[in-house]
């Protein structure tokens, strides 16, 4: 199979969801960060964090970023890497899981909290944020100081 055909089949499998519910040993997790070498650190609904591996069929074809949700299946022999990604969730599959009441409620609460934090969090640190407010007394003092500096410049 050529690279193009393989990529086409993998993308079709990922995009055209068959809406299968997770099996007994599979679980829904959230990607926290990428560790390199096709390893990703994830968080379970219970709060556990561990590494999962990306299967070879997804490598170089589909990318997973921080905040994405994936379906994982545990690996028995894994010490550090405890699971393997089975499916990368998209908006439609998340909606389907929520309709069937399979979606973990912990992820819904975390999303609301993260959205609130992100709204307050972004501040451009490259620019100094200076808010200057003048009252009437400040403006009269300012005009006096300006007039003094004008008189000094006229004397020169």
What does the domain layout of the chain look like in residue ranges?
3-108
CATH for the stretch 3-108: 2.40.50.140
Where does the chain have alpha helices with state H?
Answer: 3-15, 91-99, 105-121, 136-155
Cα distances (angstroms) measured from residue 78 to each of 74, 75, 84, 140: 8, 6, 10, 74
> Each residue of 41-97: pLDDT tens digit?
999 999 999 999 999 888 888 889 999 999 999 998 878 899 999 998 988 889 999
Place of tokens 């994936």: 70
> Each residue of 111-127: pLDDT tens digit?
554 555 455 556 677 77
Task: Write the DSSP assignment of 13-32 as a string of letters.
Answer: HHHS---PPP-TT-EEEEEE
């Amino acid at each position: 199979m050529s690279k193009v055909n393989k990529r086409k089949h993998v993308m079709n499998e990922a995009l055209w969801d068959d809406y299968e519910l997770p099996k007994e040993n599979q679980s829904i997790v959230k990607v926290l960060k990428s560790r390199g070498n096709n390893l990703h650190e994830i968080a379970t609904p219970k709060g556990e964090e561990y590494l999962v591996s990306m299967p070879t069929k997804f490598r170089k074809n589909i990318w997973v970023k921080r905040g994405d949700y994936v379906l994982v299946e545990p690996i028995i022999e894994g010490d550090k890497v405890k699971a393997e990604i089975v499916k990368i969730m998209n908006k439609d599959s998340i909606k389907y899981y929520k309709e069937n009441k399979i979606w973990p409620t912990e992820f819904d609460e975390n999303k609301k909290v993260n959205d609130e934090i992100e709204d307050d969090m972004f501040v451009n640190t490259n620019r100094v944020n200076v808010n200057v407010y003048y009252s009437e007394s400040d403006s009269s003092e300012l005009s006096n100081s300006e007039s003094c500096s004008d008189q000094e410049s006229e004397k020169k």
